[in-house]
Structures are given as structure tokens and as C-alpha cells.
Chain A
Amino acid sequence: MKIDRRSFLSLGAGATAGLAFSPLPWKLMDDSSIWTQNWPWVPVPTDGEASYVDTVCSLCPGGCGITIRKIDDRVVKAEKKDSDNANSGICILGLSSPQLLYSPSRIKTPLKKIEGKWVKISVKEAVAEIAEKLKDLRKDKLSHTLACISGSSSGTVPALFERFLKAYGSPNFITVPSVKDVYKLVFSLSLGSPYVPVFDIANSDFVVSFGTGLLDGWGNPAQAFKAHSILKDNKKKLIQIEARLSNTAAKADKWIPIKPGTEGVLALGMANIIIEKRLYLNKNILFDSVTEGFEEFKALVAKDYSVKAVAEITGVKQEDITALVEDFMKAQSPVALFGRGEGTIPGSLHEMMAVNFLNALAGNFNKAGGVHLLSDNSYINWTEPILDDTAYYGINKKRLDGAGDGKYFLAKHLLNRLPEVLNSSETSPINMLFVTDSNPFYTMADTKLVREAFEKIPFIVSFSSYMDETASMADIILPNHFFLERYQDVVATCGLKPAVGLSKPVVNPIFDTIHSGDAVIFIAKALGGTIAESFAWDDYKACLDETLEAKKDIMDKELFWVDESGVFNAFADAESSGKFEFINDKIRQTKPYTFVEAEGEKKQYPLTLIRFDSMRIASGYTANSPFMTKTVADTVIKENDIFVEINPKTAAEYNLTDGSKALLTTPKGKAQVRVHLYEGIMQGIISMPSGLGHSGYDNYLAGKGININELIGQIEDPASGFDAAWGIRAVLVRV
């Protein structure tokens, strides 16, 4: 048969129609979908024996007792420990620990930077190289130019670093400050000893919080949440005083918006009303016998903090202030909380003292539902390190950050002063810097200035487990084990008592990493002489065992050892000598009361930018896991854009609509943002979350949003020297 054009076309049409009506294409499509669905790139989890191992989480200062679910030798999940232990609990960060353990941004081996590129080296080589450099510095009598930034100030690992610096001959051991440092100052000024307060929220019947992020990551979040739920069960009240409707404010029985930065003024105004109406006398405390400086304080607040003046400054209505005072003093066991947000920025000393006066006037120290004072007893009783002449010479040099001297007489460490010190001298006064358990290039305010300052330091050694912003600027990295891979003591509180928890390895280290405690000991040994003699332990484990002694058996069984002797009892009976001093010479020296203001000209920058903390975004040394970032709302991060919260009325003034792009400018920097209209924020105030805008880490986190520290500068608290910045002036322009 001859195939002409006509028959060819009709055959084609017939075949098409036939195929369309036959099930064949559909069957093939279905088969191919099913077949490709079964391609082997969806992993099948390997089965194995399930087991649970208890440990103490050290991802935040909370130190919760948690339990890890394992399948054979792999970690699959972190869970709340099912026990009566007072410090058992878990939060979103603790739940993320398995992801953080296997994170792609873990540093897998010691690294050395050669011509800008990372080269793998062995632990031995790294230790030898660091020791060699340290020996050279010592030869030149420059031992004091070694500095160390430690994320934590408690426990044996920071103590080993501090000891190392001392034995080596440097006074420059600096810890990353937090609200806890200011808490200690509050009590060392008014009670003569640096007590750490624990607020008995669960047993209180009236909690008034001055911007404290009770449900936004403050203190031990798991315990704070538990306490808040007990408050709710008992139908007791929580009052939140804050410029923004935070999660804490939303859960509170009453939210009192206040102009940010004036919380201390409100507290002093409240104290004035209490004294004026003699409400403190209802509390049955022998006021004269347990306090000092009351008359002077009374005169001071009466003069400057009348209700009218306070209402004007704070923007809180007069009747709201008086009602708050009445409710506070009427309550059986009221408590006032201080320390802003989650407490990563130390904050204003006078503001916290002002709020704490309310606790003093309510007489709630060491009472159920009040403020419990714990002494910072150290369980670390090592013999003093042995010092040779070089070490003596070095440690007697002045501290670079100026802490403990002159106007900074109160502070022990002032990390926030370091960038300025570095930038003001031509050659770096630091020749070598150790960075452990911290990420200062990200977490410190005014990141640009910090970067400039630290770039001057010729040699940086990082002990980070992650390729974070600081580690990527280092010259040598000796990566630490992740907490699930290591032994470490964790200072915590169990209920209202001081405690020490024991973090235990749940799995063998999965990479070629080294415990920072071991790293210090090995470096000390490599240096020889008195330094090596000061570190006689074989390794960190031996040091820890020796330090914990008999406590270790308790910790092995119960995870925590509770220090029954660490509770302060001065107010328990009237006969004790501990008096609460409203004013004394030391307090006078700090020139009470000065509260810091936001940086920037009002004319040029009509808005005020404040930071907010969120449980879903980790803003400290530990950064977000992929799961955590997944929980962040699309009104906070969209693609890589960060949102700034703004009141719709303010937005209208600036011609901004929900989601519109804008340029945010502060005296410290500029950033492209988007706006999110939020009725829960005061007019004229804008807010942004902390913890985003990482340049380090993996693709699940890097490049998302802006690091608020690039936009906010530090403001030295005139009383303490710590960073007390709560915000900065800003302007938004639609683009």
C-alpha cells in the first residue's frame, strides 16, 4: 500500500485518538510516578536497639536535666526527663540538640588558616603551634597580651582558662556578660554580697515584671514556663510592663505599655507611693532593724519621683500606677522581676536596683513567693597556680577592659569596652586571643566596630564547635566536642537552691574534635615550666573527677548535686546582721539614679528601634537549628527578608503598608527590611528580633535577615560600665 499524505495523517489521528481512549498512557504515567517515588533517595532509617541516656543540657544557662533517645549508637531525639528532679525540663533549643549535634556547620577537625584558606591539621600540631607562639610572647615579656573571651563564667572549663591565663601571666580573662552580672551587683551593693536572685514565681500571688521576658527565654525558660503555668492554675496575677506586646505581655493578666527605658523611673515612682502611704508597714517587717539608708532614700524619691512626674516620663497613667502599687502591696507574696528580655544584654544597674527596692519594701526576701538569694559558693577548690617571674609581671599589668578600676570599680569583666580599647591604639594591645564558648563577633553590639577592632589582633584561637562568625575569623580552630559528646559540670539551680549538674557524653565524639578542657591542659603541658606544673591533671576528666570528689556519685545518680548551704538566710530571722541598704557610700559613688537613653538625634531619627527576644530564635553562642528556623513565622522572616514591627498609625505616617520594603537607618548602620504592621507596639517604636542575620553556619540559617547588633551600638551604663543599651533611634524610608 502506498502511504500518501492523506492516509499518513488519518493513521496519525487514529493512533492519537486510540491512545487517548486506551488506558495505556495513564497507566504508564502512574507506573512511572510510583516507580520514581521509590527511587532510593528517601532514606530508610536503620533500626536498632532503643535506649535512653540522661544528661544535663548546657545550651543555655538554664542547665536542664534532659534525656536522649538513642537507636544503637545514634542520637535520634532529646526529651524532657521524666523525673521529680526540680530542674528537669526542656525547651525548643534543648529539643534541637540532636540536630545541632549532626549539624553540617560543625567543625569536623582542627583547622589552620593558611593564606585565607582552611587547612586540616591534627590536634597535636595545633597545640604545638599555639604553644610555640605563646612561648615567643613570653620571651618578649608580653604574656599580658594574651586575652581570653569565655562565654561562661561558671564551671571548671572557664576556670581552667582563667587559671591558664594566670599561670601564663595575663590578667585579661574576660567573660561574656549577661543580666546575671548586674543581678550580682544589685545585691553586692545593697546586701554586701553578690547574691544571685531566684524568683519564686510559682508561689507568688502577684508578679510584676519590668520588661523581663519570663516567657521569652529569660533565666531557665523551662522552669519559668512551668512556674507561669502554676500561676495560671492558682489564678494568680502577672503584670507585664513593656513597650511591646511580647509573648510574656500577651500571657499576662495586664499589659502596661511604657516608654522604653523608663522602667526604672516607674519603679522609683511606685516606691515613692509605697513610702508616702506607709504601705510598707503592713508587711510586718522590722523595717528599721533590717534596713539602712531608708530616710535618705525616702527623701530622694519624694523629691524627684512624684506620681505626676513619673506618669509624664513613663507614659503610664497616674491611676494605673497607683492601682498597680495598691495591688502589689495588698498581695500576700508579691514579687517584682527585673532584667530585660531574655537577659543577654546586661542592662542598667540603677533600673534593676530601683525595681529591687519594691521587693525590699514588700519585704519578700527569702520568703515563699519572693526573691530568694543564693550565694555563689564555688565548689572548685583548686590550689593556686604556680607563678614564675614572667607570670607575676604579667598579671600585675592593668586589665585591658579597665574592669575593677576607677569608674569601673564595680565590674569584674567588661567585654563591651574591648573594641574601643583596641580601636584607640595603633597596634593591637592583644597579641593572641582565645575565644571559647562564645561568638562575640556576632553577639556584641555594633558588629562593624567589633570586627574592625578584632581584625587588628594578629592571632586568634577559636574553640568553637561551629563555623560561626568568630571562628571564621580565627587563625586556628580547636573545635570543642558538642555537649552530647562531653563531660562537663553545669552550674544551675534546682528549685530555689544552687546546684551543679553533670553533662555526660551520650555518644562518642563523631568528629575529630577535642574537649576545650583537654585543649587547655595540653597547651599548658606543652609550655612546660610552672605553667605545666599548675596543670598537673592528666586530662580534663581527671581534673573534673578531682574537683567534684564525692559529689560525682550523687551527680551520676541524680544528675544534680544540690548545695544546701548556698542559701542566704539573713532575713529569715530578725536577729541576723544582714541589712538591706537603700543607700550607702558605694551606691552614692555610682551617682543614683541615671538611666540610659537611646543613642541618636531625635530630629534625624524620629523612631526608636528596640530588640525583642523570641524562644524560636536563639541569639547567643548557640544558633538556630533548621527545625527552630522552620518554626519562625512568615511575619518575621520571608525568604531572606527580615520584618520590622511597626504600629499601623506610625506606618501610615511613613507611607508604609504591611509587607512593604523600607530602608532602616540608625546611627550605627543601614539595612533593607520589610515592615509588619503590629497593633501590639507603641507608636514611634519599631522592633526587630535578635538572633538572625548570621553570616556563618549553614544554608539553613546563614543570610536570613539582619543581625540587629549591626544596627545597635552599646551604651556604657554610667553606674556599672556594662552595656545597657535597650534600643537606638532610627528612621524608616519606603523604597
Chain B
Amino acid sequence: MSKGSKHKDKKFGMVIDLDKCTGCGACMVACMSENNVPFKENESNKLDSITWMRVYKLENGKSFPDADICFLPRPCMHCEGDHGHAPCVSVCPAIATDYDHKTGIVSQIYTRCFGCRYCMAACPYHARYFNWWDPVWPEGMEKLLNPNVSPRMRGVVEKCSFCHHRYQLALDKAYADGRDKIEEDEYQTACTQACPANAIIFGDLDNKKHAVYSLKKNPNTFRLLERLGTNPKVYYHSSREWVRRAGDNYLKHETTKA
């Protein structure tokens, strides 16, 4: 790396366009495939079904024919909280999860986690999952495992990492090429890359050249449960008012910010 180059901290985040998201589930499969997420014969109990990325179906609560639905993909929000005090980070007794000020990514170190699950209780987004069992890959399917992500054992918590290993790979490649910076398209999460509708946009929220920088400023953009002060780094965009309202607990007389 050249001497004297400035290493500005990054703040990776997402803007998800809910007008474009079709609820197809491609992001969920891409994520599971990338991150060695295990699967069981019965995954219909969604409380113990590990999905780092989960697509929720929202309903507007109206009767036919005014009913409307909207799909909302939910990765880890990588909350910044106040100076990195994300809800989960604050409660972890083992420093198994931490806020990286250099990238804005909330990490999860499986070998440090001893499974107290305080973080799961603290997370208002249900983004964290507990391994109640050791993962089992049927014979032959262990060939699918990605060597860049370690499979988890029973008794630890796991969650979306913004495909942090992809960031490391991109940095390694840049270093090998003699560069000290990576371009926007060099580091993209698996879900972003897979989305057939291009509904997920990922990048450095603080970098003016990245698409997310301007997208997050759209008046129809909101974050989930913003008023809890979690300061999430995943933004959503919807032209429908009821969807934006669904993003937080509003009183009847309250209006959304847009």
C-alpha cells in the first residue's frame, strides 16, 4: 500500500426497493448457499429455521378487494446504535459480537459464542438464530460447502455478516494488484448479487460515489423501528404509505416522516 494514503472508515449498508422486490426468495437461497447455512427435513417451524436473510410478507390489513401485500427482505440491520452500541453488541458477555467501526459491520465470532442468547433477546429484528442442533449435510452435499465461511456447531448464535468474507477477498485481491482501495462492485453481498429484480443495492453509505448514498436520501425511504434508536444500516424504499407505516409502531394520529 502506498504511504500516506488516507483510510477513511467505511459504513456498508443497503437500500432495498420494496416496489421492486417480488418476494421470489432468490436472496434467501443465495445467502444460504454462500454462507453454509444448514437445512433440516422440516423447516416449517420458522422459530428454529435459520435464515440470515428472511423475506417477510406484510399485509395492509384491509379486506378484499382492497387487500394488499408487500414483501420485505430482512438481513441483519448492522445497527450502529449510538457510536456502535448496537442492541446485540451491548449485551454480549463474551464479545462474540462486535461493531467494527472500520466497516460498520456487526460481527459474530462463533467460537467465542457460548450460546446465552442475550443478543437474540436484544435484537428487535429477529435477525439472530440459534443452532439447536449440529448441522447435518446429507451424504455428498458437504461438497457444497464454501471454504470461505466456517460451518457453525450446535450451541452458538449466527446471523447475516454482510458477506464479510467477500470484503476480505476483495481487499486481498486489491492488495495483490497493488491497490489500496476497492471499487463499489468488487464487494457486494450474495443476496445483492443474486436479486433478479435488482431490488437490493449495497455499498458504502458514506461514499458519495456509491449508489446507496443518494438512494437512502429519497423521501420514501425508511428504516425498521427507527425510533428505537438502533440506527440500522439497512434502508427500505416504498412508494406505498401503508408499507412505510408498517416499518415502525405508529399511533393512529401519527404520520410517517415522508
Chain A residues within 8 Å of B, Cβ to Cβ = 30, 33, 36-39, 41-48, 71, 74-80, 89-92, 95-96, 98-99, 102-104, 215, 221-222, 225-226, 228-229, 232, 245, 247-248, 250-251, 255, 257, 510, 615-616, 625-635, 637-639, 647-649, 678-683, 698-700
Contacts of A633 in B (CB 8 A): 57
Q: A90-B26, A683-B64 are in contact. Are A104 and B140 (CB under 8 A)?
A: yes
Q: Is A76 in contact with B44, judged by CB distance below 8 angstroms?
A: no
A98: contacting residue among B25, B33, B68, B138, CB under 8 A: B33
Q: A229-B199, A627-B33 are in contact. Are A615 and B142 (CB under 8 A)?
A: no
Q: A91-B196, A639-B42, A680-B67 are in contact. Are A76 and B22 (CB under 8 A)?
A: no
- Measured CA separation A43–B149 after assembly (Å): 12
Write the nearest CB–CB distance from A244 to chain B, whole angstroms.
10
Q: A226-B197, A615-B22 are in contact. Are A43 and B142 (CB under 8 A)?
A: yes
In the complex, whether B183 has a CB less than 8 A from a CB of chain A is no
Contacts of B28 in A (CB 8 A): 92, 627, 630-631
Q: Is B29 in contact with A95, judged by CB distance below 8 angstroms?
A: yes
Q: Is B151 in contact with A45, judged by CB distance below 8 angstroms?
A: yes
Contacts of B34 in A (CB 8 A): 77
- Measured CA separation A102–B43 after assembly (Å): 20
Across the interface, name the chain B residue whose C-beta is closest to A630.
B43
Q: Is A226 in contact with B196, judged by CB distance below 8 angstroms?
A: yes
Which of the four size classes fits the interface of chain B? 35 or more
- Measured CA separation A79–B69 after assembly (Å): 29
A45: contacting residue among B36, B45, B71, CB under 8 A: B36
Write the nearest CB–CB distance from B176 to chain A, whole angstroms.
14
Contacts of B147 in A (CB 8 A): 45-48, 71, 76
- Measured CA separation A46–B145 after assembly (Å): 8
- Measured CA separation A78–B154 after assembly (Å): 27
Q: Is B44 in contact with A99, judged by CB distance below 8 angstroms?
A: no
- A30-B114, A616-B24, A683-B64 known; 6 new pairs, CB 8 Å cut-off, are A33-B155, A42-B153, A79-B193, A95-B29, A228-B197, A615-B25
Q: Is B29 in contact with A80, judged by CB distance below 8 angstroms?
A: no
Write the nearest CB–CB distance from A16 to chain B, whole angstroms.
26
Task: List B residues 141-161 near A (Cβ within 8 Å).
Answer: 141-147, 149-156
Across the interface, name the chain B residue whose C-beta is closest to A64.
B196
- Measured CA separation A396–B44 after assembly (Å): 54
- Measured CA separation A681–B69 after assembly (Å): 12
Q: Is B29 in contact with A225, judged by CB distance below 8 angstroms?
A: no
Q: Is A679 in contact with B135, judged by CB distance below 8 angstroms?
A: no
Q: Is B24 in contact with A225, judged by CB distance below 8 angstroms?
A: yes
- Measured CA separation A615–B24 after assembly (Å): 5
Contacts of A44 in B (CB 8 A): 150-151
B145: contacting residue among A43, A632, A682, CB under 8 A: A43
Contacts of A48 in B (CB 8 A): 147
Q: Is the interface of B mostly helix, strand, loop or mixed?
A: loop
- Measured CA separation A256–B33 after assembly (Å): 38
- Measured CA separation A41–B137 after assembly (Å): 10
Contacts of A635 in B (CB 8 A): 57
- Measured CA separation A362–B143 after assembly (Å): 54
Contacts of B247 in A (CB 8 A): none
Q: Is B138 in contact with A679, judged by CB distance below 8 angstroms?
A: no
Chain B residues within 8 Å of A, Cβ to Cβ = 17, 19-20, 22-26, 28-30, 32-34, 36, 39, 41-46, 49, 51, 55, 57, 59, 62-65, 67-71, 114-115, 134-147, 149-156, 193-194, 196-199
- Measured CA separation A76–B151 after assembly (Å): 14
Q: A229-B197, A232-B19, A630-B49 are in contact. Are A245 and B33 (CB under 8 A)?
A: no
B144: contacting residue among A75, A79, A92, A225, CB under 8 A: A75
Q: Is A43 in contact with B137, judged by CB distance below 8 angstroms?
A: yes
Q: Is B39 in contact with A627, judged by CB distance below 8 angstroms?
A: yes
Write the nearest CB–CB distance from A233 to chain B, whole angstroms.
8
Write the nearest CB–CB distance from A88 to chain B, whole angstroms.
11
- Measured CA separation A250–B134 after assembly (Å): 39
Query: 11 A-B contacts, Cβ less than 8 Å apart?
Result: A45-B145, A47-B147, A76-B147, A91-B24, A91-B26, A92-B26, A98-B144, A215-B24, A630-B49, A647-B64, A649-B63
Write the nearest CB–CB distance from A400 to chain B, whole angstroms.
39
Across the interface, name the chain B residue whose C-beta is closest to A95.
B29
Q: A104-B140, A226-B197 are in contact. Are A77 and B24 (CB under 8 A)?
A: no
Contacts of A222 in B (CB 8 A): 196
Contacts of B41 in A (CB 8 A): 699-700
Q: Is A631 in contact with B140, judged by CB distance below 8 angstroms?
A: no
Q: Is A225 in contact with B44, judged by CB distance below 8 angstroms?
A: no
Q: A91-B196, A225-B22 are in contact. Are A41 and B33 (CB under 8 A)?
A: no
Contacts of B196 in A (CB 8 A): 80, 89-91, 221-222, 225-226
- Measured CA separation A90–B29 after assembly (Å): 11
Q: Is A75 in contact with B51, judged by CB distance below 8 angstroms?
A: no
- Measured CA separation A250–B68 after assembly (Å): 6
- Measured CA separation A635–B44 after assembly (Å): 9
- Measured CA separation A76–B41 after assembly (Å): 21
Write the nearest CB–CB distance from B52 to chain A, whole angstroms.
12
Q: Is A245 in contact with B43, judged by CB distance below 8 angstroms?
A: no
B23: contacting residue among A247, A257, A683, CB under 8 A: A247
A628: contacting residue among B23, B29, B139, CB under 8 A: B29
Contacts of A648 in B (CB 8 A): 63
- Measured CA separation A495–B85 after assembly (Å): 48
Q: Is B138 in contact with A99, judged by CB distance below 8 angstroms?
A: no
- Measured CA separation A322–B49 after assembly (Å): 48
- Measured CA separation A699–B39 after assembly (Å): 12
Across the interface, name the chain B residue whose C-beta is closest to A248.
B22
A627: contacting residue among B29, B69, B150, B193, CB under 8 A: B29
Write the nearest CB–CB distance from A80 to chain B, whole angstroms.
6
Contacts of B32 in A (CB 8 A): 627, 630
Q: Is B144 in contact with A76, judged by CB distance below 8 angstroms?
A: yes
Closest 8 CB pairs between A and B? A45-B145, A679-B67, A615-B24, A631-B25, A225-B196, A215-B22, A630-B43, A225-B197
Q: A42-B151, A627-B39 are in contact. Are A104 and B22 (CB under 8 A)?
A: no
Across the interface, name the chain B residue whose C-beta is closest to A681.
B64
Write the nearest CB–CB distance from A469 to chain B, whole angstroms.
19
Q: A42-B135, A102-B141 are in contact. Are A245 and B44 (CB under 8 A)?
A: no
Q: Is A104 in contact with B39, judged by CB distance below 8 angstroms?
A: no
- Measured CA separation A90–B24 after assembly (Å): 11
- Measured CA separation A683–B114 after assembly (Å): 51
Q: Is A630 in contact with B39, judged by CB distance below 8 angstroms?
A: yes
